[in-house]
């Protein structure tokens, strides 16, 4: 077992998959320049030394082009891992993602596959409205895309490896405050969810969630950074004798519905925590699913804790107001007990 | 020019001290471009900037104290703390909030020029962007439309040789961004971006051309950012020798030398200017330090336009 950050775990996953399969390559801005950044958050640092610039392919600043090229390459037999420096820039390439990558298999009647991985950092980190969005909900709305959101180093590595081997487009959302709290690119306020990562090869299946903490009184579902806010909240609640169960779905599409349903059937209460905006959010969908499938087990209304329906503000006090805090999760739980 | 330089040197210091949150993209070394271009602009001309906007903002007339307060996230900032470093601007002096999605300002600039033409306003629209941004699809689409419609817009590409860590040669098969102008059907002009007189001349012609409704121009200003891309950039992707070479062409001592050579300024005058600038920056910092932080609930304001602001 080695202790590593999510950034390191992702790098190891890429390295192992590139060694295993010569068709795997990375494409993105500033990912392989010698002496450069290794992507915006160091994930590809050092990889061009091992694999060369053909397989750690630096592109101009051209998101439509780089993502489109990755999609075309995937359609024709390669297995690209495309990186946008900040998830916000996915919007630049929206046609390629939503109209091309997501629809090829369907339009072709199941005869064309698009084994593409897209890596996109998300989350508010003091940079204002165009470098801080949480985009998960947007992409869960597009049929044909798998959407993955790892919260620990173990999951990040195992899920990225599964994504590379998947024959569908998979977007991995990585939270900027979870890459690790040390190193030159670490963000202020970052957590270090250094997980134990086994030496031997393993995969984390896409579509399987995990219970991060067992409890009987309320189910809290979080993803990415909000898993940690949920765990903090559960810790505080435990001091008052309230046992919260914390669930991390790890994959948003396809969603491990049974895990959430089983938990709600046990606890009778559900709080969903996400950093996305409220309206049309991913949590609304989870709430509707639970209401449809486990209505008679519910002892209280489902509550959602999210960012407000505003863009992410820059100023620190406003940003703190914007992102869901552990305190807000505690309040939400208490409001339905 | 000097105000931009001293403002940013102070920003860097304050950032290191932890007084300014987040990240900073400094403009140090490129001041002659902003100054040379914006000297021709009136308050009602439009400016569209980038993730590296402090210099453009100062040159367009946004108050340094309002920019500084914005960097601090204070409610007195030019965007009331909502925008931060990458989005400074003040529409009252013709600068829209800077756009941090690189290249995305190019269509906006064309659109503002379209509006100016349509409404028969004697205005030009200026768009600054880096050579890295020049490879965005949005930039190509915008310049093509600006050209076919003869829009009063000037595109100023600040070619500082690096886009984050990517050198020019890795992102272009051609030598000059300005060469692309031919493909759109507009003039493409190359200028020494560290020579403020040259920039002033070239920009003056382009802006006059736009005002005469003769259409857009693409100016490529060859320059260099003397500092890193953003905070904590060790700059290991480029050599110290190269940096030293460019430091010798620093636009500010170069202008000072030129002013003396022409007999337009004595050492005493330059010293006085230096002191005035320092006082201005001191004042901006004091203003930012003393200003209140926004009420967290202000987060909910300004999602939609309202007359009350
Ligand atoms: C659409 C988009 N892609 C990527 C980025 C990340 N990014 C910010 S600045 C930058 C480099 C920009 O280089 P250039 O346009 O040459 O301007 P410079 O930084 O040199 O002033 C990159 C890649 C971004 N902000 N927007």
- Pocket-testing residue among A85, A96, A132, ligand 1, by greatest number of atoms within 8 A of Cβ: A85
Interface membership of B88 toward A (CB under 8 Å): no
Strand order, beta sheet including A244-248: A210-213, A244-248, A218-222, A270-277, A303-307
* Chain B interface includes A126 (CB < 8 A): yes
Judging contacts by C-beta atoms under 8 Å, the chain A residues touching residue B135 are 60-62, 65
Task: Among B163, B193, B233, B246, name the best residue to mutate to test ligand 1's pocket (greatest count of ligand atoms within 8 A of Cβ).
Answer: B163
* Smallest CA separation from ligand 1 atom 20, residue: B163
Chain A contact for B309 (CB, 8 A cutoff):
no
User: What's the gap in Å between the CA of B230 and the closest CA on chain A?
Assistant: 10
Smallest CA–CA distance from A131 into chain B, residue: B100
The end-to-end CA distance of chain B, in Å, is 32
Give B158 Cα–ligand 1 centroid separation in angstroms.
12
Q: What are phi and psi of A27, to 5 degrees?
A: -140, 135
Q: Give the pLDDT confidence score for residue A190 in this predicted structure.
A: 84
> Is B83's Cβ below 8 Å from some Cβ in A?
yes
pLDDT of residue A188: 78
CB pairs A-B closer than 8 Å: 141
Cα separation of the two ends of chain A: 40
Encode B60-88: b = buried (16+ Cβ within 10 Å), e = exposed.
bbbbbbbbbbbbbbbbbbbbbbbbbbbbb
Query: B187-234: per-residue pLDDT in tens?
Result: 999 999 999 999 999 999 999 999 999 999 999 999 999 999 998 899
Closest CA to A276 of A117, A146, A144, A87: A87
Q: What is the pLDDT of residues A195-211, one digit of tens each?
A: 789 989 999 999 999 99
Q: Is the pLDDT of residue B66 over 70?
A: yes
Question: CB of B97 within 8 A of CB of B88?
Answer: yes
Secondary structure (DSSP) of chain B: -HHHHHHHHHHHHHHHTTSS-S-----TT-HHHHHHHHTT--TTSEEE--SS-HHHHHHHT--HHHHHHHHTT-TTSTTTTSS-GGG--BGGGTBPPP--STTTHHHHHHHHHHHHHHTT----EEEEEETTGGGSHHHHHHHHHHHHTT-SEEEEEEE-SEETTEEHHHH-SSS-GGGGHHHHTS-EEEEETT-HHHHHHHHHHHHHHHHTT---EEEEEE---SS-SSTT---TTS-HHHHHHHHTT-HHHHHHHHHHHTTS--HHHHHHHHHHHHHHHHHHHHHHHHSPPPPGGGGGTTSS--TT-
How high is the pLDDT of residue A184? 64
Residue A311, chain B, CB below 8 Å: the answer is yes
pLDDT in tens, A247-298: 999 999 999 999 999 999 999 999 999 999 999 999 999 999 999 999 999 9
Determine contact, residues A122/A174, Cβ cutoff 8 Å.
Answer: yes
Model confidence over A4-43: pLDDT tens digits?
999 999 999 999 999 999 999 999 999 999 999 999 999 9
Centre of ligand 1 to C-alpha A195, Å, is 32
Question: In chain A, what residues touch B294 (CB-CB under 8 Å)?
Answer: 315, 317-318
pLDDT for B308:
84
Are residues B284 and B7 in contact, defined by beta-carbon separation less than 8 angstroms?
yes
> CB of B129 within 8 A of CB of B103?
yes
Sort out which chain A residues have CB atoms less than 8 A from B102's CB and list them: 61
Pairwise CB contact (< 8 Å): A60 & B135? yes
- Per the CB < 8 A criterion, the answer to whether B94 and B41 are in contact is yes
**Residue A291, helix vs strand vs coil:** helix
Answer yes or no: do B82 and A313 touch at CB < 8 A: yes
Mean pLDDT of A206-218: 98
- Do the beta carbons of residue B239 and residue B75 sit within 8 Å? no
Whether chain B has a CB inside 8 Å of the CB on A316: the answer is: yes
A133 CA to centre of ligand 1 in angstroms: 17
Which ligand 1 atom minimizes the distance to the CA of B129? 15
> Which chain B residue has its CA at the smallest distance from A66's CA?
B136
Q: Nearest-CA residue of chain B relative to A37?
A: B165
Q: Give CA separation, B238 vs A28, A240, B164, B227, in Å.
A: 20, 57, 11, 11
| pLDDT computed for residue A1 by the predictor | 74
Q: Least CB-CB distance to A310: which of B70, B294, B303?
A: B303
Min Cα distance A243 → chain B (Å) is 31
Please give the pLDDT value at position A175: 97
**ipTM more than 0.90?**
yes
Triad B104, B109, B113: Cα angle to 5°: 155
Instruction: Answer yes or no: do A315 and B138 touch at CB < 8 A.
Output: no
Mapped onto helix, strand or coil, the DSSP state of residue A275 is strand
Q: Is A118 helix (H, G, I), strand (E, B) or coil?
A: strand
**pLDDT tier at A193 (50, 70, 90 boundaries)?**
confident
CA of A179 to the centre of ligand 1 (A): 21
The tens digit of pLDDT for each residue in B76-112 reads 999 999 999 999 999 999 999 999 999 999 999 999 9
pLDDT value, residue B133: 98
Comparing alpha-carbon positions, the chain B residue that sits nearest to A91 is B101
Residue A210: the pLDDT is: 98
CA of B200 to the centre of ligand 1 (A): 25
Candidates A30, A36, A40, A61: which one to mutate for ligand 1, based on the most atoms within 8 Å of Cβ?
A: A61
Residue A69: which of A92, A96, A51 has the closest Cα? A96
| Ligand 1 pocket mutation pick from B133, B135, B225 by most atoms within 8 angstroms of CB | B133
Active site residues of A: 131
Residue B120 pLDDT: 86
The ligand 1 site (C-beta within 6 Å) comprises A 29, 61, 63, 85, 89, 92; B 51-52, 100-102, 129-133, 160, 162-164, 229
Say if A30 is an interface residue toward chain B (CB within 8 Å): yes
**How far away, in angstroms, is B102 Cα from ligand 1 center?**
5
Mean confidence (pLDDT) of chain A: 96
Given a cut of 80, is residue A129 above it in pLDDT?
yes
Say yes or no for a CB contact (<8 Å) between A314 and B73: yes
Q: Does A279 touch chain B (CB under 8 A)?
A: no
pLDDT digits (tens, 9 = 90+) for A37-81: 999 999 999 999 999 999 999 999 999 999 999 999 999 999 999
Closest CB to B166 among A29, A63, A308:
A29
CA B308–ligand 1 middle distance (angstroms): 35
Question: How much is the mean pLDDT over chain B?
Answer: 97
Q: Is the pLDDT of residue A186 over 80?
A: no
Q: Are B236 and A128 within 8 A, CB to CB?
A: no
Average pLDDT of the segment spanning A314-336 = 98
Would you call B73 and A62 a contact, using CB atoms and an 8 Å cutoff?
A: no
């Amino acid at each position: 077992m080695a202790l590593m950050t999510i950034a390191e775990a992702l790098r190891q996953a890429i390295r192992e998959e590139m060694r295993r399969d010569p068709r795997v390559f990375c494409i993105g801005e500033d990912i392989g320049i010698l002496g450069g950044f290794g992507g915006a958050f160091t994930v590809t640092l050092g990889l061009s030394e091992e694999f060369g610039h053909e397989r750690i392919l630096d592109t101009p600043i051209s998101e439509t082009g780089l993502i489109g090229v990755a999609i075309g390459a995937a359609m024709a037999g390669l297995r690209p891992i495309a990186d946008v420096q900040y998830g916000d820039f996915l919007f630049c390439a929206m046609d390629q993602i939503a109209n091309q990558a997501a629809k090829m298999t369907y339009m072709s009647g199941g005869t064309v596959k698009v084994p593409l991985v897209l890596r996109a950092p998300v989350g508010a980190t003091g940079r204002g409205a165009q470098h801080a969005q949480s985009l998960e909900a947007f992409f869960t709305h597009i049929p044909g895309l798998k959407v993955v959101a790892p919260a620990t180093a173990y999951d990040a590595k195992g899920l990225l490896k599964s994504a590379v081997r998947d024959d569908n487009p998979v977007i991995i959302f990585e939270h900027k405050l979870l890459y690790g709290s040390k190193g030159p690119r670490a963000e202020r306020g970052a957590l270090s969810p250094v997980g134990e990562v086994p030496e031997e090869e393993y995969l984390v299946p896409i579509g399987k969630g995990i219970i991060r903490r067992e409890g009987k009184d309320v189910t809290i579902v979080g993803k990415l950074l909000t898993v940690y806010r949920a765990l903090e909240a559960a810790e505080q609640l435990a001091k008052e004798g309230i046992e919260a169960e914390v669930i991390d779905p790890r994959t948003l599409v396809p969603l491990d519905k049974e895990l959430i349903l089983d938990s709600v059937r046990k606890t009778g209460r559900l709080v969903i925590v996400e950093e996305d905006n409220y309206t049309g959010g991913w949590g609304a969908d989870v709430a509707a699913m639970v209401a449809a499938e486990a209505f008679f087990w519910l002892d209280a209304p489902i509550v959602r804790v999210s960012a407000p329906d505003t863009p992410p503000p820059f100023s620190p006090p406003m940003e703190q107001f914007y992102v869901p805090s552990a305190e807000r999760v505690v309040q939400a739980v208490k409001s339905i007990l | 020019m000097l105000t931009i330089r001293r403002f940013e040197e102070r920003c860097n210091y304050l950032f290191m001290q932890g007084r300014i949150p987040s990240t900073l993209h400094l403009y140090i070394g490129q001041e002659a471009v902003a100054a040379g271009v914006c000297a021709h602009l009136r308050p009602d001309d439009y400016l569209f900037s980038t993730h590296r906007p402090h210099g453009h903002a100062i040159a367009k007339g946004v108050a340094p104290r309002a920019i500084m307060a914005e960097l601090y996230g204070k409610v007195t900032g030019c965007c009331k703390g909502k925008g931060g470093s990458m989005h400074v601007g003040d529409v009252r002096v013709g600068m829209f909030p800077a756009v941090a999605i690189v290249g995305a300002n190019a269509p906006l600039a064309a659109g503002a020029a379209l509006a100016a033409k349509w409404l028969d306003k004697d205005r030009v629209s200026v768009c600054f962007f880096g050579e890295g941004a020049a490879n965005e699809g949005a930039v190509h689409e915008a310049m093509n439309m600006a050209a076919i419609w003869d829009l009063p817009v000037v595109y100023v590409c600040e070619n500082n040789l690096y886009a984050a860590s990517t050198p020019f040669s890795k992102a272009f098969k051609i030598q000059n961004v300005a060469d692309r102008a031919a493909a759109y059907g507009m003039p493409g002009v190359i200028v020494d971006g560290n020579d403020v007189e040259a920039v002033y001349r070239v920009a003056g012609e382009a802006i006059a051309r736009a005002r005469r409704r003769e259409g857009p121009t693409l100016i490529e200003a060859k320059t260099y950012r003397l500092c890193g891309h953003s905070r904590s950039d060790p700059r290991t992707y480029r050599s110290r020798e190269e940096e030293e070479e460019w430091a010798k062409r620093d636009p500010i001592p170069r202008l000072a030398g030129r002013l003396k050579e022409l007999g337009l300024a004595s050492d005493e005058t330059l010293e006085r200017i230096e002191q005035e600038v320092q006082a201005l920056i001191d004042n901006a910092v004091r203003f930012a330090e003393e200003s209140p932080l926004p009420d967290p609930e202000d987060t909910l304001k300004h999602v939609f336009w309202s007359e009350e602001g």
